[in-house]
Structure 1
Amino acid sequence: MKIKRKIYDQIYKHIAEKEITMIIGPRQSGKTTIMKEVQRNLILEKKETVYLNLDIERDFSLLDSQEKLINYLKATIRSDYGYVFIDEFQKKKDAGIFLKGMYDMDLPYKFIISGSGSIELKEKTHESLAGRKRIFIVYPVSLEEFFLYKTEYRYNSLKEIHDFEPNKETVLLEEYMTYGGYPKVVITENKEEKYLIINEIVESFLHKDALALIKYEKLDDLQKLIKVLGTYNGSMIEYSNLSDAVGIAPQTIKNYIRYLEETHVVKRILPYSKKRIGEITKMPMLYFIDIGFLHYSLGTFGNLAKEKEGFLFQNIAWRILEEKHMHTGADINYWRTKDHQEVDFVIDYQDKLNAYEVKYSVSIVSTNALYSFRRRYKKAKLNIIVKDIKEDKFFKKESIEIIPYFLL
């Protein structure tokens, strides 16, 4: 049984557009699987396709020149229009200029490309393909995708699983918080095999994606940084502290975190501040995109300590909000004052200001930070994200909405 990805329908719909379809994301997050599924469905519709993987020498050589590729496509695609898939496209030198030339020739081909080294691919194509592409980001399997797969698609939503199989929901939530969502990790049942897979994913990232960006002798520094960043997950980043811990310059730390962000290992969120007096305005906070990668960085992959569940649940809440707002243009921020009042997430979008606290424990306590936020931002809607449905008259009276994670 395959894992159904929510982003698939968006990508397949875009196939009808002239724009280049660009699929990026971390290594082994499911990009190639999605591309091949798109190709299979096009073939079922009697459409002609070509699939090139630039990891294969013969395929790579076809892109020696635009003329060589065009001649190959003319010989292979006999109908009036065809679909050209190119995997690992970041390996092509001058990728953006090459593809811009192909696009501007107005050829009878639709190009669908993907790349794991996202920073490299985006930098090679950003200016050259301005107005000629649409980017789709494929993350590892989301919590909802994981739950639906693990319940064999008997349900249509997280809420249905909560309503009909609450015990299963608890087991699955703990499993996701233990292993994360890389597709091969999800579909593998054996614990030892899961570890070997996540190890291979991290090693592949370091020796392929990272090595394309930094010198080989610097890989040890990057590995050290990744391990230290695991302890900063959901916390503010102090570059000087990281510099002391890892033993490299603060500017190099900033560069490496940028690499990790652009290759979709971590994500920085910035502080929210419109009234700057007493508010943190510069220090970013950091979250790992996949909990399995986070566990690996901490040396805890396959182990779920009870005292860490709240810490991991907050990461899940951020990921749900991140994917919900990814294509809306909305930013997810955090809010903190110099006297340590902190709101986990703030989303200011289309004249609606939402503040969120995340609470994993059964008892919901201490909303002082939310009240403090509303005193400064009168129109803010206050929310508490929880594990389960809670009815509390006090919070209703105070106009604070309690939102279970499965209703986000």
Structure 2
Amino acid sequence: MIKDIFDLQNPWRTRPDYPFPYKPRRLLSVLLDNLDNDKMIGIVGSRQVGKSSLLFLLIKYLLHERLIPAANIFYFSLDDLKLHELFHHLPDLLRFMGQSNQRRYLFLDEAQRLATPGLFLKQLYDLRLNLKVFFTGSSQLELKSKTREHLVGRARMFELQRLSFSEYLQFNEPILPQEALHELLIYGTYPEVALERDPTQKKLLLKDIYQSYVEKDITDFLKLENISAFNDLVKLVAVQSGRLLNRDNLAKTLRLSRALVDKYLQVLESTFIIKRIYPFHKNYKKEITRMPKVYFMDLGLRNFVLNNFNPVGLRTDTGVLFENFYLMELLAEDPYQLKKINFWRTTNQTEIDFIVQGENEFSAIEVKWKATGRPRSFQTIRKYYPDIQTRLVTPEDFLR
């Protein structure tokens, strides 16, 4: 039975002409740069974001560019519980793979499905076999809870985002940039949603993604019982996207404890639904204790939660959507997560959308759907930080 499942999951072993019908992703080149080091490679990201497709693109590269024999590549989708029998004891997996002196490649999709993935991967790594391991996980919270200290120094982690703007254009060639920008502000950038051209089907796909998220991540793993309160919180956070997030107000409005609200927000962030960014301050202690701003990691999901798929020209929140979109672009441009992203706000309400700090970078970025001139906030922040670079981002930056 296990061999039959494995053969179905690894069609390239019996079909040398297997087509690998997957669109390229920006993160692929970064992963290829890490192909020959000794680290295990972990890929985390939301459900339906394309992690499995990315693994298949890696396998395609190994087969077609590196000319690695198919017999040296092992892919397991651990959503199939029957395969878990191989992972109760490490010797069982090694016997299944057989012996070889050649370098081999092991791909574990949805590794958090295993009971103790961290310990298993640690034991495998510590054997120092000629084996490169890739693993994925849809819930950072679940994966971290099961790996903890086991992977420190052994694994390099990457987060796969939804489609960037350039990827969205590539997925929908020959779409015009303006059409693409308007589309993704409404329906988001999940790959499957991006490829679907019918608006009704896009909405249905977003509904499926959200329901699957609630059922698998929230109900099955986290065992949250008050799903109604959780959904209400998601709606309130969606309304506040791009604004300061006041947890006390959320707790009061929902009649929940502050501790429960904090738990729900941590769940949403760890499962790649929201992103909190904190105010920029030279004193880090003050930075993390002040009120953050919240953003949705996918605008289609945000609009589904609010049941608002009105076109860009009929909305009052287009500026918020565009600001949210640009944060996702910043995250996609930083696969190693080396940059720090904050916002800046003074006591008299002068605000800069994003402060980006990285190697040789210290930038203040204002994002405007409709710009009427250079923001005055740039003059203000330069009084405090004369060496900061300023940048105004508008739709024109994406329509050239």
Return the offset for 1:275.
Answer: 7.5
Q: Tell me if the contact between 1:233 and 1:288 (Cα under 8 Å) persists in the aligned partners.
A: yes
User: 2: CA distance between counterparts of 1:89 and 1:213?
Assistant: 14
The answer as to 2:113 corresponding to 1:72 is no
Return the offset for 1:137.
Answer: 0.9
Aligned match of 2:162 in 112, 118, 140?
Answer: 140
1:212-251 residue CA offsets vs partner (Å, 9 max, x unmatched): 5532422222211111101111111110111122221112
Q: Tell me if the contact between 2:171 and 2:194 (Cα under 8 Å) persists in the aligned partners.
A: no
**1:56 aligned partner:** 80
The answer as to 2:252 corresponding to 1:244 is yes
The answer as to 2:322 corresponding to 1:313 is yes
Identity fraction in percent: 27
**2:117 aligned partner:** 95
Q: Which amino acid aligns with 2:296?
A: F
Return the offset for 1:380.
Answer: 1.9
Q: Which amino acid aligns with 1:262?
A: S
User: 2: CA distance between counterparts of 1:86 and 1:280?
Assistant: 35
Change (3 A) 1:118 1:212: farther
1:21-74 residue CA offsets vs partner (Å, 9 max, x unmatched): 111100010000111221233233133111111111321211121121111111
SS at match of 2:112: helix
1:231-279 residue CA offsets vs partner (Å, 9 max, x unmatched): 1111111101111222211122112111111111111101012389x99
Change (3 A) 1:151 1:120: same
Q: Tell me if the contact between 1:273 and 1:280 (Cα under 8 Å) persists in the aligned partners.
A: no
Q: Tell me if the contact between 2:177 and 2:398 (Cα under 8 Å) persists in the aligned partners.
A: no
1:101-157 residue CA offsets vs partner (Å, 9 max, x unmatched): 1110112322111111222112322410111111121111111110233225xxxxx
Aligned match of 1:12 in 17, 28, 32?
Answer: 32
Q: Tell me if the contact between 1:279 and 1:336 (Cα under 8 Å) persists in the aligned partners.
A: no
Change (3 A) 1:172 1:134: same
Q: TM-score, normalised by structure 1?
A: 0.85
User: 2: CA distance between counterparts of 1:96 and 1:406?
Assistant: 45
SS at match of 1:217: coil
The answer as to 2:113 corresponding to 1:105 is no
Change (3 A) 1:302 1:9: farther
- Runs of 5+ consecutive residues of structure 1 not aligned to the other structure: 153-164, 389-403
Change (3 A) 1:293 1:88: same
Q: TM-score, normalised by structure 2?
A: 0.87
SS at match of 2:325: helix
**2:181 aligned partner:** 173
**1:206 aligned partner:** 214
Q: Which amino acid aligns with 1:61?
A: E
User: 2: CA distance between counterparts of 1:234 and 1:174?
Assistant: 18
Worse overlay, 284-293 or 371-380: 371-380
Return the offset for 1:342.
Answer: 0.9
Return the offset for 1:289.
Answer: 1.1
SS at match of 1:340: coil
**1:370 aligned partner:** 378
Q: Which amino acid aligns with 1:240?
A: D
Q: CA RMSD in A?
A: 2.3
**1:40 aligned partner:** 60
Q: Which amino acid aligns with 2:343?
A: Y
Residues matched between the structures, number: 374
User: 1: CA distance between counterparts of 2:130 and 2:302?
Assistant: 44
Aligned match of 1:84 in 106, 120, 145?
Answer: 106
User: 1: CA distance between counterparts of 2:23 and 2:208?
Assistant: 21
1:255-310 residue CA offsets vs partner (Å, 9 max, x unmatched): 2111111111111101012389x999611111111111111122114644343222
User: 2: CA distance between counterparts of 1:374 and 1:279?
Assistant: 19
User: 2: CA distance between counterparts of 1:344 and 1:362?
Assistant: 14
**1:155 aligned partner:** none
**1:235 aligned partner:** 243
User: 1: CA distance between counterparts of 2:138 and 2:96?
Assistant: 25
Q: Pairwise mapping of residues 261-276 of structure 1 onto structure 2 (< 5 A)? A: 261-274=269-282
Return the offset for 1:360.
Answer: 1.2
Worse overlay, 31-40 or 321-330: 321-330
The answer as to 2:170 corresponding to 1:130 is no
Change (3 A) 1:99 1:28: same
SS at match of 2:58: helix
Q: Tell me if the contact between 2:275 and 2:297 (Cα under 8 Å) persists in the aligned partners.
A: yes
Q: Which amino acid aligns with 1:129?
A: L
SS at match of 2:61: helix
